[in-house]
Amino acid sequence: MQSQSLVSYHKGLGIGDNYSEWNLLREDISLPAAVLVSENIENNLEWMQKFIEKYNVKLAPHGKTTMAPKLFHKQLEHGAWAITLATVQQVQVAYSVGIRRILMANQLIGKTNMKIIQELLNNDPNFDFYCLIDSSANIEQLGQFFNNNKTQKRLQVLLEIGVNNGRTGIRNEDEEKLILDTLSKYENSLALVGVELFEGVLNDEQSIRLMLQRTVDCLQRLINSNKLSRSPPILSGAGSAWYDIVAEEFSKVNSTVDIVLRSGCYLSHDMGTYHRAQARILQQNSIAKEISTNGALRPALQIWAYVQSIPETNRAIIGFGKRDAAFDAGFPIPILHYRPEWSKPIEIDEKNYQITHMMDQHAYLSCPSDHNLHIGDIIAFDISHPCLTFDKWRKILLINNQYTVIDIIDTHF
């Protein structure tokens, strides 16, 4: 056996320097491990590229889903216009790996955070950065900071629309007017370039459509009153569950605008939250249905782990837990069963095999009393809510359909 390399010590990797020789079925990998199925990733990239082209919109996928620079670049290669991020620290990571157009779908708050962005803008004329505003207080802070630091470029901001009892964003036209009045004091340092929302704070289609229509109305008022500093202005929204509804409503705008969708979870998809959302989309949206004739989005992120113990006839303990996979939107779903002497994995009937409880490093798998599980068998799991699985791993294995590792994806959470 080769000597253990430095990379081997990272969670979920194997032995030896040449990862292209690692194969899950040969047990070359230390389990539990998080893996991405390459063919499914490519399918999802191509599917979303077709979707945005059909709607003639732009895509700025939310990078916080994966925080993986290699995946950022794959998304850009498949038509993404920018990468969306949530924090200044995430912006720094993306900038350091060559991402030069970033939409920070959040307010820019705090002196150090402002200074980091100000230095990036000053030092790189090609850095195209956007953030959100929803209060006069924040506008005063931003305006004074960027004025005092004599930035060479105005900070581009999007007015965020919110809803009562929701998250951030203005609630009504009175707040809109107050923000516009405050912005007028800082025309030399701040540039209002569009309108933004996150519809995911709501959970029913009618309410979401009303919020989107309100956002379009706001943008139209700003266009008509010449309040915007970008041509075409930006109109942005869409998490990973309702992007079809956002595309439909935003496409009704009467002016020339850059419509920017921000779905991030399409890349890995899942078999929980976003699987259910995609089923609705395929049922309701004719464009999604059309481009899915050769296949829809596929789950690409999996957790592989050993059967560790079988303490009762109808229960197996699996060697992974809350430290390894998301559990906030449903437990991981067993999909494949493999025994090292078998030629290939077999599918699992998920109705009869279910995770019922998870601890830090253990998962309780309910199974029929006549199951065929052995200690040392390997189970592969699909997951729900990929964001909170990605952030548990610094290294994720990219595998092909032969279960051979073809790349290692670094994450930067």
Last residue of a domain, one of 243, 265, 287: 265
Pair 308, 240 in one domain: no
Of residues 42 and 5, the one with the higher pLDDT is 42
The amino acid present at 322, given as its one-letter code, is K
Pair 11, 124 in one domain: no
Domain-located, residue 227: yes
Domain that holds residue 23: 6-38+297-410
Pair 345, 392 in one domain: yes
pLDDT digits (tens, 9 = 90+) for 100-155: 999 999 999 999 999 999 999 999 999 999 999 999 999 999 999 998 765 568 99
Pair 244, 379 in one domain: no
d(CA 250, CA 267): 22
Pair 119, 21 in one domain: no
pLDDT digits (tens, 9 = 90+) for 385-399: 999 999 999 999 999
CA distances from residue 27 to 24, 108, 144, 316 in whole angstroms, order as listed: 5, 46, 58, 20
Domain-located, residue 328: yes
Percent of the chain beyond pLDDT 90? 92
Domain-located, residue 274: no
Q: What is the mean pLDDT of the chain?
A: 94
pLDDT of amino acid 16: 63
Does the pLDDT value for residue 9 go beyond 60? Answer: no
pLDDT of amino acid 12: 52
CATH number at residue 314: 2.40.37.20
Pair 250, 349 in one domain: no
Taking residue 404's Cβ as centre, other Cβ atoms within 10 Å add up to: 19
pLDDT confidence of 347, banded at 50, 70, 90? very high
Domain-located, residue 16: yes
Domain-located, residue 118: yes
Identify whether 32 is preceded by a cis peptide bond (ω within 30 of 0): yes
pLDDT of amino acid 21: 84
Domain-located, residue 254: yes
Pair 166, 211 in one domain: yes
Pair 121, 210 in one domain: yes
Domain-located, residue 256: yes
Pair 248, 379 in one domain: no
Note whether 101 and 128 are within 8 A (CB).
yes
Pair 330, 189 in one domain: no
pLDDT of amino acid 13: 72
Q: What is the dihedral of CA 371, 376, 381, 387, to 10 degrees?
A: 150
CATH number at residue 245: 3.20.20.10
Domain-located, residue 80: no
* Domain count within the chain: 2
Of residues 85 and 5, the one with the higher pLDDT is 85
Pair 164, 237 in one domain: yes
Pair 110, 213 in one domain: yes
pLDDT confidence of 6, banded at 50, 70, 90? very low
Last residue of a domain, one of 216, 246, 265: 265
d(CA 137, CA 332): 43
Last residue of a domain, one of 265, 281, 316: 265
